[in-house]
Amino acid sequence: MLFYDPILSGNRNISCGTCHHHDLASADGVALSLGEGGVGLGPARRPGPDGIVKRIPRNAPALWNVGAREYDVLFHDGRVSLSPDYDNGFDSPAEEWLPSGLNGLLAVQALFPLVAQFEMAGNPGENEIAGAVHDRIDAAWPLLAARVRAIPAYRALFAQAGIAEPQIADIANALADFMNAEWRSTDSPFDRFLAGAPSLSPAQERGLALFYGKAGCAACHAGPLLTDHRFYALALPPLGPGRTRRWDPFARDVGRMAESNRLEDAYRFRTPSLRNVALTAPYGHNGTMPGLEDMVRHHLDPMGSLARWRPAMAALPPAPGAEATDLIVWQDKREMARLRARLDIAPRVLSDAEIADIIAFLHALTGTESLAGRLGRPNRVPSGLPVD
């Protein structure tokens, strides 16, 4: 209920579920989401009466298996990770101000959309949450916890779990436990194949052989979750306002470098898991690849794909107040040259038939009964606010 309750947003108008919805395979089906100020769901979401200030700079990732123990880093740029750098055991934007009592990495991750201006917190001057965030990142979390404690139904539910006075860490732990249990998918045809059952079509078996062989996909998409959790520069077309650093004078997104401060990490982004990948288009850290074939072909010929890309390929909801920045980075010849110069994958040659076989194999990663989730979307939430 907390996941779908707008009570955790500054203006009480958006929830975690708005951008990670059951009906959209735990994502939202667009390249860059309309967060605070938007109305509606998924591809049909539009700016509300007051418009939006900015699109969310990166694609909303699917949540399949994000609670797995193999994860030691989260977000496209890895800004939340297990780390000894702070006494709390995590490296995050909150640094030493991270609340105590968090049960794991996913609980840490759950805290940050709540205090992100364009995601859930809202704009300065609109509400007490947004104002507190601009004082210091941890100032808003106690205010959100107080909102939850003020609702008798939530107090009763936390009391059943032995928590008399829920704090923000308890809320984050609950969100993480829900995500971990709800979107756990290990029942695909590929899983049955690994268990020895004849579950793949001939095309899927050919695609599997290519995936782990000639095509080289498994060099990065390895292990049970089909990700190595590392970071690579793919020369994906830039789009949107970018997740700029405080001192960046223009719209751009340097990816992992913004967190590591290492020049060699420029334009690198985390390898996504491929579980249920056929259900979670568009693809890439900014959603610029509309379909599986587009993304596969980009991996095979990154520079050719970048040259051929057109803005119409991006599934961007109309947003008149934000469209001026959608393609502004393309006007910066130096920035585009820097992006083209950073590439961690080598071109490969595959036939159209081989590409079709790889795509067939990617469809074999789609779960079955697990797709419905275990609890599903609630029809109503204790705050009484509307549920997306």
Pull the structure tokens for residue 130: 């947004």
Return d(Cα 203, Cα 386) in angstroms, integer.
45
pLDDT for 246? 76
List the beta strands (DSSP E) in the chain: 38-39, 46-47, 73-74, 80-82, 90-91, 231-233, 268-270
Mean pLDDT of the chain: 96
pLDDT for 374? 94
For the entire predicted model, the pTM comes to 0.96
Pull the structure tokens for residue 122: 């809202």
pLDDT for 301? 98
Whether residue 202 has a cis bond before it, omega within 30° of 0: no
pLDDT for 244? 79
- Give the model confidence (pLDDT) of 139-188 as tens digits: 999 999 999 999 999 999 999 999 999 999 999 999 999 999 999 999 99
Pull the structure tokens for residue 173: 């732990």
DSSP string, 318-359: --TTTGGGSSGGGG-HHHHHHHHH---S------HHHHHHHH
270 has which bridge partners?
Answer: 231
Regions of the chain where pLDDT drops below 70 = none
DSSP string, 84-129: SSSTTSEE-TTGGGPPS---SHHHHHHHTGGG-IIIII--TTS-HH
Q: How would you classify residue 261: left for phi > 0, otherwise alpha for psi between -120 and 50, otherwise beta?
A: left
